[in-house]
Amino acid sequence: MSEQTPDPETQATGNAAEQALRLYVFDCGVIDTVTSEEFGFEAGTLPSSMTTPCYLIVHPRGVLLWDTGEIPDAEFDNDGELTRKRTFSASRKLGELLAEVGYGPHNIDFLAFSHYHNDHVANANMFAGQTWLVQRAERDAMFDPNPDFERFGPVTPDQQYFDQLKDARTVIIENCDHDVFGDGSVVIKFSPGHTAGHQSLFVDLHDTGPLLITGDVYHYYDEINRPADFVNHVSNAVTTESRRKLEAFADETGADMWIPHDIRRAASFRKAPAFYC
């Protein structure tokens, strides 16, 4: 691993340097057979399917990819055709989605994901040549040689999806918020509980306004202002505290909370190649 601190003034790709801040949303698949009871709700209360979007943030000082999908591109039968793996299904490869808006691994500066679960890191190794932004607690958990329930909860990291990141250029964030480009427009928010080093993403867009991509602090909008009660959180108590802080932050900034997994709002989001700015 090569650990470094980025210089926001010099981090830029040719594409990004010519663009105002923009955000692309990619449809990276669906998860089926979800139950309401897993989240502490009565049976049938919540949708039984979830979405798994990925996000590309283009800033004049660089490009950030946030989350990498639920099915590795190498496991697709054909791009554009539905592929099913376990409870996951998707129709498009992440690489093809990125290419349609003019990007590939070579011109993405930063890789980050909310957390290490498989539906967020399936294509992480594709970006091992980029600079990885990760909380110290999360990286420690991902590469811990002695897994234990206290650190992982019921979901142990599956290193096959991200093992190449172990030696990647890495900015280790000391379990705190991180201003990616140094101007307050793209800020990683430390929001542990779902995993030890879970993180969310704040993006302040000129026209759209501020938004907060919450990751898996929530899976449904029904969970806002509600204590966490999910079987796969490492800690429901810590997740509840992260919710309290994110909700206060959203109130303070006026940010629209985007809960990536909630399928009910998915159809209303503008999908790439369209974008938010």
Residue 109 · residue 64 · CB < 8 Å? yes
Please give the Cα distance from 270 to 141 (Å, whole number). Answer: 34
Query: What pLDDT score was predicted for residue 155?
Result: 83
CA distances from 224 to 114, 201, 203, 208, 217 (A): 18, 17, 19, 22, 10
pLDDT of residue 48: 97
* pLDDT average, residue stretch 51-67: 98
pLDDT at residue 8 in the model: 40
Q: For residue 249, is pLDDT > 80?
A: yes
Domains in the chain with CATH codes: 2-266 (3.60.15.10)
How would residue 150 be classed by pLDDT, with cut points 50, 70 and 90?
low
In Å, how far are 66, 136, 200, 220, 241 from 141, measured between CA atoms? Answer: 19, 9, 18, 26, 20
pLDDT tens digits, residue range 228-240?
A: 999 999 999 999 9
pLDDT of residue 13: 43
Looking at residue 133, what is its pLDDT? 98
Cβ–Cβ < 8 Å for 46, 94: no
pLDDT 10s digits, 177-197: 999 999 999 999 999 999 999
Which range among 6-20, 76-90, 135-149 shows the weakest confidence by mean pLDDT? 6-20
- Residue 7's pLDDT band (cuts 50, 70, 90): very low
Q: Taking 90 as the threshold, does the pLDDT of residue 6 lie above it?
A: no
Distance in angstroms (rounded) separating the CA atoms of residues 31 and 43: 18
pLDDT mean over 125-149: 91
pTM of the model: 0.92
Most distant pair of Cα atoms in the chain: their distance: 52
For residue 108, is pLDDT > 90?
A: yes
Across residues 69-98, what is the average pLDDT? 95
Mean pLDDT of 92-106: 97
Is there a cis peptide before residue 154, judged by omega within 30 degrees of 0?
no
Residue 242 has pLDDT above 50, yes or no: yes
Q: How confident is the model at residue 153 (pLDDT cuts 50, 70, 90)?
A: confident
* Mean per-residue pLDDT, 266-274: 96
pLDDT at 156: 82
Alpha-carbon gap, residue 53 to 142, rounded angstroms: 22
Mean pLDDT for all residues in the chain: 92
Instruction: Report the C-alpha gap between 58 and 9 in whole angstroms.
Output: 15
* C-beta neighbour count of 129 within 10 angstroms: 13
Contact 109, 130 (CB under 8 A): yes
Rounded-to-integer distance, Cα 109 and Cα 132, Å: 9
3-state secondary structure of 241: helix
The fraction of the chain above a pLDDT of 90, given in percent, is 87
- Can you name the residues that pair with 133 across neighbouring β-strands? 171
